[in-house]
Amino acid sequence: GTTIRGLNAHPDGLHFVYALGCKVVVQNWKTKHQKTFSGHTNVISAIDVSPNGKYIASGQISQMGFKAPVILWSFETSQLVSKYDIHKVRVESVAFTCDSKCLISLGGLDDSNIIVWNIEKEEVLCGVTASRGTSGNAALLCCTNLRGQCFVTGGEGTLRVWKVIADTKQAEAVDVKFGLIKRHIISMVIDELDVFAFCGTTTGDIVKIKLNYDADIDVLDPAATPILLGCFGKYIGKKRLVTGEEPARYSQGVTALCLLPSDMEGRIVVGAGDGTVELVKELKTVTFPEPSAIRKVKMLSLPQLLVLKSTNVNAAPTSLLLVQTTVFIGTMLSEIFTVDLETFEVKLHVTCHRHSIYDIAFPHEYSEVFATCSKDDIRVWNTETSLELLRITVPNFTCTCIQFACDGKSIVSGWNDGKIRAFTPQTGRLIYEIHNAHSKGVTAVAITTCGLQVVSGGGEGQVRVWKITPTYQKLQGILQEHKSSVSCIQISSSDTEAVSVSLDGSCVIWDIVKLARKRSLFANTQFMGVCYHPSGVQIVTTGSDRKIGYWELYDASLIREIEGSRSSGLNAVDITRDGERIVTGGNDQCVKVWNYHKGNPTHVGADHAGAVTAARFSPDNRYIVSVTSDGGIFLWK
């Protein structure tokens, strides 16, 4: 996601660590097994793994006026080791020193402080303001590779080299002089010998800094003031830079950098804001203009980066990691790619929705795939491998509900522009489109077993029944009873009646053959979910009152009520085909499985990082799929 350096590789080369909302996730790359660390109360904004592999550090964003905690985790036990609440509002960056003895954290715009935390003693070693009052705010920090007490911070018009003096509990900084050159640094990497630092900028060039450290790694002070060697743009094939001509730069800035270790050619993997990923090397023999001519160049970037290989991942990279001969790329769109250094071929491994997910659907009697919907797109996933099989995109609109036709030949979806769209599940081709289906957007949709009728609900509270044929779609009737948005619709197994629930606290059973109301019931809640019991004599509802309600269809009476959550409302409900178990999910970020007859929870899943918006049993009852408001999809066995 948007977390800078949000994808981290464990030193064992097998596990990867990243943030998922307010949870830290450790994933085994071979087995795909995941474990989550819970402790943050809001979105994680910074994360890092210690060089010795024992610890994970993470910092979060908090509300204005509140402290933003930094948490230190044990990698082996997944337990919280220590925690400190010193930064205000936001933690911008965290990094371990090369000896894994200290953790360094940088506060955001409202804090601007650097905190050095002693891991062994679990105490603050020192704290200092990150930048001078005359310069901009620091946005990231990077530790040196040989000196455990040294690190570098960079940001808007600022680049400083620091050393920590443990005896006096102080930190001293030396500013890198840029002269008249102004740069906003958004990425940084230091070579393995602590000789050079390379900084990516919003300008689209790479700033090269000589740190001037002594050959003795025990000497922490630079032998001379760190100096700027140049701002490097791309070499475009000209032997000489013409006066006033601008060299090629990376579009939308250099967002991530990765140095190839022990590389005599000095090759660098560069990630740009437009999704470009290139392997470049620094040229030594470029002829530049005379000094008098350089002063006439508008922006002082020198064409010293020769592009060796190039590709594109369609989103700004936030992390570039080298594992053996493979570069792992984490992007702003929450996707993970790999690029082979030899062939530079791109392969997509992990992807997900960028926004809140609103609904889940399985095909009729088929558990191998399922579909989810969100803003801009519908995606079809493989249940076993969790790989994306199809993406149907409708830009700038939000899909709020989906349903597979029973014959498996179409995916029927409702959108916030008031249209019902049907697509083929194999190719994503648009089959038909019903314009102006609802005036305030389509909020719920269901399709009969025969596939000849679609029942839809809208934001204005109307339920509409549509006749579907291969050649035309016809409105059969409008059912008006709800006063607010329809949140869910289910059709009975007999295809003769449907039940709809609304945010106004009403639940209505409709006869979709005669197009008339059969029964209605009311409760002091905002109904969010409803489903038929397989026996066809009862329905189960959930809502904002935190209750799971069992209702008799014959007389619409409440026969049982269970407290589904102690803290927040329930958004989703589903029932197995044998009617033995139900699953619920809500704003408490928990998925619960209940025994239908006894009314007690049998299993609880608490790994979500956002409110659970939908949950479904697979048709074979082997899996539960749940989705959340932060775009996460969880598969439970």
Read off the pLDDT of each residue in 158-172 and give the average, rounded to a whole number: 90
State the pLDDT at residue 4: 87
Secondary structure in 3-state letters for 574-621:
EECCCCCEEEEEECCCCEEEEECCCCCEEEEECCCCCCEEEEEECCCC
Decide if pLDDT at 291 tops 60: no
| DSSP tag of 553 | T
Are the C-beta atoms of residues 193 and 212 closer than 8 Å to each other? Answer: no
State the pLDDT at residue 607: 82
Read off the pLDDT of each residue in 198-207 and give the average, rounded to a whole number: 94
State the pLDDT at residue 324: 86
Is the sign of the CA dihedral 110, 151, 2, 308 positive or negative? positive
Read off the pLDDT of each residue in 93-105 and give the average, rounded to a whole number: 94
Q: What is the residue-averaged pLDDT of the chain?
A: 90
Under CATH, to which class is 359-636 assigned?
mainly beta
pLDDT band at 113 (very low <50, low <70, confident <90, very high): very high
CB < 8 Å & 24+ apart, contacts of 10-14: 10/49, 10/53, 10/75, 11/49, 11/51, 11/52, 11/53, 12/53, 13/323, 13/324
Q: Which part of the chain is CATH 2.130.10.10?
A: 1-129, 359-636
State the pLDDT at residue 134: 67
| DSSP tag of 247 | P
State the pLDDT at residue 22: 87
pLDDT in tens, 1-44: 788 899 999 999 899 999 988 889 999 999 888 898 999 989 99
Decide if pLDDT at 285 tops 80: no
pLDDT in tens, 342-392: 899 999 998 888 889 999 999 999 999 999 999 999 999 999 988 999 999
| DSSP tag of 240 | B
DSSP β-ladder status, 227-234 and 302-312? parallel
What are 206's two structure tokens? 């790479």
Read off the pLDDT of each residue in 177-195 and give the average, rounded to a whole number: 90
Are the C-beta atoms of residues 371 and 379 closer than 8 Å to each other? Answer: yes
Among the listed residues 636, 583, 632, 580, the one whose alpha carbon sits nearest the alpha carbon of residue 608? 632
**Higher-confidence residue: 180 or 307?**
307
Read off the pLDDT of each residue in 90-96 and give the average, rounded to a whole number: 94
Read off the pLDDT of each residue in 499-505 and give the average, rounded to a whole number: 95
Distances in Å between the Cα of 232 and the Cα atoms of 71, 137, 192 are 37, 23, 20
Residue in the structure block whose two tokens are 């769109």:
333
The CA dihedral of 583, 601, 35, 57, to the nearest 10 degrees, is: 110
Among the listed residues 169, 178, 184, 93, the one whose alpha carbon sits nearest the alpha carbon of residue 130? 93
Decide if pLDDT at 325 tops 60: yes
CA–CA gap between residue 189 and residue 209 (Å, rounded):
11
State the pLDDT at residue 240: 59
CA geometry: angle at 532 spanning 446 and 433, to 5°?
0
State the pLDDT at residue 59: 95
pTM of the predicted model, to two decimals?
0.85
* Residue-wise burial string across 428-439, b where 16 or more C-beta atoms lie within 10 A, e elsewhere: beeebebeebbe
What are 572's two structure tokens? 């989703």
pLDDT band at 583 (very low <50, low <70, confident <90, very high): very high
Read off the pLDDT of each residue in 94-109 and give the average, rounded to a whole number: 93
State the pLDDT at residue 71: 96
State the pLDDT at residue 414: 96
Decide if pLDDT at 298 tops 70: no
Q: Which residues contact 627 (CB under 8 A, 6 or more apart)?
A: 357, 358, 359, 360, 372, 612, 613, 614, 615, 633, 634
**Higher-confidence residue: 239 or 254?**
254
Please provide the DSSP assignment of 138-159 as one string: EEEEEE-SS-TTEEEEEEBTEE
Distances in Å between the Cα of 258 and the Cα atoms of 187, 191, 200, 281, 305 are 10, 9, 11, 12, 14
Among the listed residues 74, 25, 63, 47, the one whose alpha carbon sits nearest the alpha carbon of residue 609? 25
**Higher-confidence residue: 409 or 290?**
409
Are the C-beta atoms of residues 234 and 310 closer than 8 Å to each other? Answer: no
Domain spanning 1-129, CATH architecture: 7 Propeller (2.130)
Are the C-beta atoms of residues 342 and 325 closer than 8 Å to each other? Answer: yes
